[in-house]
Structure 1
Amino acid sequence: MVEIQHLTKHFGSQAAVNDISFTAGRGEILGFLGPNGAGKSTTMKIATGYLPPSTGTVRVAGFDVVEHPLEVRRRVGYLPEHNPLYLDMYVHEYLDFIGRVHGLGGSALRSRVQELVGRVGLTREQNKQIGALSKGYRQRVGLAQALIHDPQVLILDEPTTGLDPNQIGEIRTLIRELGQDKTVIFSTHILPEVQALCDRVVIISRGQLVADAPVRELAGLTKGETVVLAEFEGPVDVDSLLSMHGVNRVVQEEGYRYRIYSEFDQRSAISRRAAQRGWTLLGLRQEEQSLEQVFQELTATKK
C-alpha cells in the first residue's frame, strides 16, 4: 500500500505539491492524472525516494520514505517519465545488472530476466544494444527493469510513451495482470487508458487534489451540463424545448434527433412535454460525461 498524507513540496517559493492526501491499496490500479506541471512527477519521485518532501508523510508498505528509504526502494519498481538507460549495454546485460543492484543473482536472476524479457515483448531484441532499439522498445526495457525485483508497488510515469497501438495493448494487459496482486500507480495523458485499466483515479491541478474517486463516479464530481439525446418521429418545436426549466440549449442533429443540454436530468420532463404536444417519442437517453470532459472541468476550475 502507498499512503500519502498532507504532502507538500516546495521549490523555493513555489509549491509544486500542496497538501495532498490519498492512498492506493494492494490489488488496485490507480490512475494519477493532471495537466502538465500539476505536480504528478514530483509526487511520484517523492514516493520512490528520489526527492524528499517539504512537509507531510509518504509510506510505502508501511515504511516512511524519509526514515526508511532503502526499505521503500526494495519494495518499489519505478519507471520515470524520462526513461534512463545505459545505451551501450545489451538488453539482457542491462537487466542482469539491475537485478544484481537489487541483490539478485545466480540461476534465480537468470530465470527472472528470461521471464521478464518474454512478458514485456523483448525476446527478439534481448541481444541488441539498448541504443539500437526504437523508443517503444526502450520503454519496454524500462518497464522490465522496474519489475526485475518483483516489487510490491509499481509506479509508472507515462509507461506507454512511444508505443504503437499493438504495443500499448500488450502493456495494458501486463499492467492489468500486475494489478491483481500489486499496488500500481501510473500517470498518463491518454485518458482511454485510464478507463481501460483503472479502478480509481486521483486528479491534481496546480499541486492540489481536485478528485479522488472510482472511475465510474467521476462524472458526479463535476457541475457540468446534463445531456439528453431525444429522437422523435417527426419535427418538434425547438422553442418549446428551450422554454423548459433548466434547459440551456438544444442542438438538432440528423433527422429528428435533438441533443438537449440542461442543468439536470430532463428525461421525465421531455416525456411529459412530448405527450402534451402530441410528439411521438422514439428514443430518450442520457449521455454520460466523458472522462475527457470531467478532466477538463476539474482542472479548469482550480485556479
Structure 2
Amino acid sequence: MSIEIKNISKSYDDKLALDNISFSIKKGEIVGLLGPNGAGKSTLMKILTTYLSPDKGSVLINDYSAVTQPMDIKRSIGYLPEHNPLHLDMYVREYLKYIACIYKVDKKQIEPVIQDCGLSDHANKKIDALSKGYRQRLGLAAALISNPEVLILDEPTTGLDPNQLIEIRNLIREAGKEKTILLSTHIMQEVEAICDRVIIIKQGQIVADKILKDLRASKEQIIEVEFDYRVENILLENLPKVVAVKNTVGFVYEITFNTDKDMRGSLFDFAHDNGLKTLQLNQKNKNLESLFIELTKA
C-alpha cells in the first residue's frame, strides 16, 4: 500500500477533529477526500504530510512511519497545499531550481517537469506575473520535481476559471498514471472528473468509501414526488422495488427505488388509484452529489 492509515484520532483541546479513522490507498489510485467544512479534512492532510502527529493510531506512507520517520515521508511525497506558498519575486525556472536543490534532485529533472506542466512559455517569467492557473501549474511542478510516488493535493482547483480547471484536471490525471494521488476538495465535480474512488468524512469520521465506477453503475434512483394530500409512508413503501421513503417537507416525498426502470409511471398510477393529484414528479440519479448530501447533512 502507498498510504495506510490505521485508527488515527486527533483532538484540539477538547474538540475531536478525527475519530478513529482507517483507510488504505493502493499504488496508482487517485482518491478524492470529500467533506463539509469542519469535517477534519485539513487535519488529516496535515497528519499525512507530518505537519501534525496523531494522538493515536499509525500512518504509513511508502512504508515510512509518520511518527518515527517524518523526514523520509517528506522526501518521498509531493505536496501541493491549499494556499500555494510561492516566492513571488523569483522566476519560474529559478524557483524550480531552488526546490530541486532542497530535495537534492538532479537539475536535469527541471526541464521535463516544466514541459510536462505546460510552463515552457512562462519559465523565464516572474511568478508574480503568472495567473492563478499558472501558479497552480507551478505548485504542481514543484510537487513533482522529486518524482515522488505519492502526491497529496489540497484543494488544487480552488479559484480557477473553467479553462484552467480543465488544464489542471488533465495534469493531475496524467500524473495519476504513474503515481498514487490523494486529492482533498469540497468540489464534487472535481472528484467525479479526476478520481477513481471517493472517501467522505463528516465530523471526523469516515461515512463512505466508494469506487466511483460502482457508484455510477448503481441501479438506485431517487424520485421526488409532491401530492396534494399527505400519504402514509407505509403505502409508498409497498410499491415495487422501494428501498426507502422520506417525507422531506409538506406533501413532498423522496422515494428511493432499486431498479434501472423509470418508476415515475408507477408513482403516477399510485396517485391516480388513490385519488391524489401529482403536483410534481422528478427523477434523480443516485450520484455522488446525492450521496454526499445524504451522508453529511445535519
Calculate the TM-score normalised by the size of structure 1: 0.79
Alpha-carbon separation, structure 1, partners of 2:217 and 2:22: 20
**Residue in 1 that maps onto 2:179:** 182
- Choose from 106, 115, 118 the match for 1:118: 115
Alpha-carbon separation, structure 1, partners of 2:72 and 2:66: 8
Alignment root-mean-square deviation, CA: 3.3
Q: Is the 8 A contact 2:215 2:287 kept in 1?
A: no
Alpha-carbon separation, structure 2, partners of 1:183 and 1:211: 20
1:45-79 deviations in Å (ceiling 9; x for gaps): 11111111111111001110111112111210000
| Cα 1:248–1:147 shift into 2, 3 Å | closer
Structure 2 gaps, min length 5: 238-244, 274-281
Name the SS of the counterpart of 2:52 in structure 1: coil
Q: Cα offset for 1:103? A: 0.9
Structure 1 gaps, min length 5: 230-237, 250-258, 278-284
**Residue in 2 that maps onto 1:141:** 138
Name the SS of the counterpart of 2:257 in structure 1: coil
**Residue in 2 that maps onto 1:296:** 293
- 1:28 is aligned with what amino acid? E
**Residue in 1 that maps onto 2:161:** 164
Q: Cα offset for 1:22? A: 0.7
| Cα 1:220–1:13 shift into 2, 3 Å | farther
Q: After superposing the two structures, state which structure 1 stretch, 182-191 or 263-272, moved more.
A: 263-272
Q: Cα offset for 1:271? A: 9.2
Q: In the alignment, is residue 214 of structure 1 matched against residue 211 of structure 2?
A: yes
- 2:257 is aligned with what amino acid? F
Name the SS of the counterpart of 1:45 in structure 2: helix
Alpha-carbon separation, structure 2, partners of 1:135 and 1:88: 15
Alpha-carbon separation, structure 2, partners of 1:45 and 1:179: 21
Q: Is the 8 A contact 2:264 2:283 kept in 1?
A: no
Q: Is the 8 A contact 1:219 1:294 kept in 2?
A: no
| Cα 1:248–1:4 shift into 2, 3 Å | closer
| Cα 1:179–1:219 shift into 2, 3 Å | closer
Q: Is the 8 A contact 1:139 1:161 kept in 2?
A: no
**Residue in 2 that maps onto 1:127:** 124
- Choose from 232, 241, 245 the match for 2:236: 245
Alpha-carbon separation, structure 2, partners of 1:188 and 1:119: 23
Q: In the alignment, is residue 270 of structure 1 matched against residue 261 of structure 2?
A: no
**Residue in 1 that maps onto 2:52:** 51
Q: Is the 8 A contact 2:207 2:295 kept in 1?
A: yes
Calculate the TM-score normalised by the size of structure 2: 0.80
Q: Is the 8 A contact 1:7 1:21 kept in 2?
A: yes
| Cα 1:100–1:219 shift into 2, 3 Å | same
